[in-house]
């Protein structure tokens, strides 16, 4: 190999190495930004996949109104064989910390700055109470699920969950539903499920012009 060929080879290696370094540095940043900007679509696809695989009915962007006023908005309602899942989408660019029964949690951004936030689990459980009241469907049929991004840091996440209320990473949603539906409880009667879908479907899309909730 001539000196000129060696020189060209070294240049090629330097260029390739530089491209790879840029890729591995820039790609994670671009990917995180893409997920942040499109997390609702990404989460929806994961939920839609569960609905399709398990043949479950799914309602998205449900607005609850009473006496002409918006009561709350629900991102997704998934009708399983044994439970009805009320799902809230959330994306946190940092970490969160709080106790299950606390009304206020804390958010920590990547610079370590601390700020207060509403407990998203309690907020979603309140949505279930409102949905149960409006439809007269017993609360025992509902499961609350708050889906968050996989890279969100949350201390003792499992300790926050109980039998009817969960906060989980989006990648674990499918396994969660599978585990819950394997519980040794009776399936929802087909006629009951049909009426539940119809009752909740009547609320679908109403008041879509109203502003959404903060959490």
% of the chain with per-residue pLDDT over 90? 53
- pLDDT of residue 120 exceeding 90, the answer is yes
Res 206: pLDDT: 44
- pLDDT of residue 58 exceeding 50, the answer is yes
pLDDT band at 29 (very low <50, low <70, confident <90, very high): low
**Is CATH 2.40.160 what the domain over 39-201 is classified as, yes or no?**
no
Q: What is the pTM assigned to this prediction?
A: 0.81
Q: How many CA atoms, within 13 angstroms, populate the side-chain half-sphere of residue 137?
A: 27
- pLDDT of residue 28 exceeding 90, the answer is no
Using CA atoms, how far residue 88 sits from 39, 49, 64, 150, in Å, is 12, 16, 14, 15
What six digits make up the tokens of 162? Answer: 């109980």
Res 213: pLDDT: 47
Q: Residue 151 in contact with residue 134, Cβ under 8 Å? A: no
Residue-wise pLDDT tens digits, 125-158: 999 999 998 888 999 999 999 999 998 988 777 8
Query: Backbone dihedral region of 94: left (phi > 0), alpha (psi from -120 to 50 degrees) or beta?
Result: left
Alpha-helical runs (H) found in 66-172: 120-135, 157-160
From the number of C-beta atoms within 10 Å of its C-beta (0-12, 13-18, 19+), residue 119 rates as buried
Residue-wise pLDDT tens digits, 32-52: 776 767 889 999 999 999 999
What six digits make up the tokens of 114? Answer: 């601390």
- pLDDT of residue 190 exceeding 90, the answer is no
Q: Quick one: CA dihedral 25, 26, 31, 32, positive or negative?
A: positive
**Rounded Cα gap, residues 90 and 68, in angstroms:** 27
**Rounded Cα gap, residues 147 and 139, in angstroms:** 20
From the number of C-beta atoms within 10 Å of its C-beta (0-12, 13-18, 19+), residue 103 rates as exposed
Alpha-helical runs (H) found in 138-189: 157-160, 173-181
Q: Residue 97 in contact with residue 156, Cβ under 8 Å? A: no
């Amino acid at each position: 190999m001539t000196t000129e060929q060696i020189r060209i080879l070294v240049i090629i290696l330097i260029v390739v190495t530089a491209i790879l370094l840029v890729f591995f540095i820039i790609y994670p940043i671009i990917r995180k930004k893409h997920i942040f900007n499109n997390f609702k679509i990404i989460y929806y696809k994961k939920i839609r996949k569960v609905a399709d695989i398990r043949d479950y009915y799914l309602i998205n962007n449900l607005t609850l109104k009473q006496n002409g006023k918006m009561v709350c908005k629900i991102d997704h309602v998934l009708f399983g064989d044994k439970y009805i899942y009320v799902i809230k989408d959330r994306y946190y660019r940092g970490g969160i910390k709080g106790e299950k029964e606390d009304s206020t949690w804390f958010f920590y951004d990547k610079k370590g700055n601390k700020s207060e936030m509403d407990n998203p689990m309690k907020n979603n459980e309140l949505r279930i109470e409102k949905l149960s009241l409006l439809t007269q469907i017993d609360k025992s049929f509902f499961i609350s699920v708050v889906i968050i991004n996989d890279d969100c840091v949350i201390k003792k996440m499992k300790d926050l969950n109980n039998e009817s209320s969960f906060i989980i990473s989006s990648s674990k949603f499918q396994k969660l539903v599978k585990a819950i539906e394997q519980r040794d409880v009776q399936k929802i009667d087909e006629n009951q499920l049909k009426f539940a879908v119809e009752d909740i479907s009547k609320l679908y899309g109403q008041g879509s012009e109203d502003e959404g909730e903060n959490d």
